[in-house]
Amino acid sequence: MSDAPWTIGRLLNWTTDFLKEKGAESPRLDAEVLLAHVRGCKRIELYTSFEQPASEELRAKFRELIKQRAAGKPVAYLVGHREFFSLPFAVTPDVLIPRPETELLVVRALDIAKPQPRVNDPPEQGSSDAVPEVAVPKPTPAPLKPITIADVGTGSGIVAVTLAKHLPNAKVTMIDVSPAALKVAQANAERTKVSDRIEAIESDLFTAVPADRKFDLIVSNPPYIMSDEMKQLAVDVRRYEPTLALDGGPEGTTVIERLIPQAAERLRPGGWLLMEISPTIVGRVEQLLEADARLQREPTQKDIAGLARVVQARRKEGT
């Protein structure tokens, strides 16, 4: 077997076994993504190339990536991108890698913010044999009401950019304390062609956001891992992803405790606050929301596993 030529198929099989021995959770997927990246092709194209020879140059590049993956470096950082909500996003070690759990935050935000039917569109007329229909020109559709959204702790910008992509009437403000993260987020906004409706502000929560700026919707995926739990995270998360975006302090709510009152101050009456959280801290976060007299806590959203994932509240009218 050692004298057999190195083909794409043999390379994939050998690498899958190697990564499995190193403890990778998805060794075959990792091998395919990295090999497709080195070849500059789609993953599916590998399946029609199993018998093709793998050149020494390709094997050398692939070998270097596999060495880093075996040491724990996430695949997304190795290839520089990750898909989220069917959109491609650039990622670097300055930002968290997008996770499926965050899609619930986006889905809920879209449900709240989706454009309403235009009020001046006339109802459709039924046909009548007795009375001939008269063609009546429809009035010019009214423009959709603008909606202002803030994404606090935007990271790579996946939430802000996805909302801007699906809400043509939205003006989105991306906020992050990390200038490096904002640079990644801005690049993703430009890549997705929504940068004309997105503003980036370097700020610790809302402290550097103009005092008169109000929002209809505030979304956030804040740091919510308890400090004691950080050491229990998988090595690829603990060693490579930014601690600033993960560590939520002793109770997992250090940032959230500051965010809630600031968000309540920045919401317009009737506006929504949505935050992704860990199920382990949901009770504490719900208490924090209920303690702010300006907010009305709404039912917490659960993910497909039935775990509490998105807490939500509305700014009360007249407060």
pLDDT score for 145: 84
The pLDDT confidence band at residue 8, using thresholds 50, 70 and 90, is very high
CATH number of 161's domain? 3.40.50.150
For Cα atoms 233, 235, 236, give the angle at the middle one, nearest 5 degrees.
105
Two tokens, residue 118: 């235009």
- Nearest-CA neighbor of 188 among 172, 177, 205? 172
Tokens, residue 54: 């793998």
Is residue 262 in a domain?
A: yes
Q: Which of 232, 169, 177 is nearest to 205 (CA)?
A: 177
Same domain, 204 and 261: yes
Q: 293 and 160, same structural domain?
A: yes
Residue (of 25, 22, 21, 38) closest to 8 by Cα position: 38
Residues 95 and 237 in one domain: yes
Q: Are residues 227 and 275 in the same domain?
A: yes
Question: Once rounded to an integer, what is the mean pLDDT over residues 277-296?
Answer: 97
In a domain, 121, yes or no: no
220 & 170 share domain: yes
Q: What is the pLDDT of residues 91-109, one digit of tens each?
A: 999 999 999 999 999 999 9
Give me the pLDDT at residue 66, please.
97
Whether 283 and 228 map to the same domain: the answer is yes
Residue 47: inside a domain, yes or no? yes
Per the listing, tokens 């600033």 go with: 244
Residue 116: its pLDDT value, please?
Answer: 55
Same domain for 92 and 183, yes or no, is yes
Q: Which of 19, 43, 71 is the last residue of a domain?
A: 71
Percent of the chain with pLDDT strictly greater than 70: 91
Q: Are strands 267-276 and 147-152 parallel, antiparallel or unpaired?
A: unpaired
- Please report, rounded to a whole number, the percentage of residues in the chain having pLDDT higher than 90: 87
Which residues lie closer than 8 Å to 24 by C-beta, 6 or more apart?
30, 69, 70
Q: What mean pLDDT is predicted for residues 26-41?
A: 97
- Specify if 67 maps to a domain: yes
Which tens digits make up the pLDDT trace of 43-94? 999 999 999 999 999 999 999 999 999 999 999 999 999 999 999 999 999 9
Residues 52 and 102 in one domain: no
The pLDDT value given to residue 1: 44
- Could you tell me if 188 and 248 lie in one domain? yes
In a shared domain, residues 156 and 34: no
Q: Tell whether 139 is covered by a domain.
A: no
Average pLDDT on 13-42 reads 96
Summary mean pLDDT of the chain = 92
Model confidence pLDDT, tens digit, residues 171-212 = 999 999 999 999 999 999 999 999 999 999 999 999 999 999
Query: How far apart (Å, rounded) are the C-alpha atoms in residues 7 and 52?
Result: 5
pLDDT in tens, 121-179: 444 444 444 445 566 666 666 677 889 999 999 999 999 999 999 999 999 999 999 99
pTM score above 0.75: yes
Instruction: Report the candidate in 144, 146, 79 with the shortest Cα–Cα distance to residue 116.
Output: 144
Q: Is the residue at 38 inside a domain?
A: yes
The answer, yes or no, to whether residue 291 has pLDDT greater than 90, is yes
Residue 298 confidence (pLDDT) above 90 = yes
Residue 127 falls within a domain, yes or no?
no
Provide the token pair at 204. Answer: 């610790």
Domain that holds residue 152: 83-114+144-315
Residue 229 in this model has a pLDDT that exceeds 80: yes
Query: What's residue 196's pLDDT?
Result: 97
- Using DSSP bridges, classify how beta strands 147-152 and 295-302 pair: parallel, antiparallel or unpaired: unpaired
Number of domains in the chain: 2
In a domain, 129, yes or no: no
| pLDDT for the residue numbered 134 | 60
Who's near 298: CB < 8 A, 6+ residues apart? 272, 312, 313, 314
Same domain, 107 and 202: yes
Please tell me whether residues 235 and 107 are part of one structural domain. yes
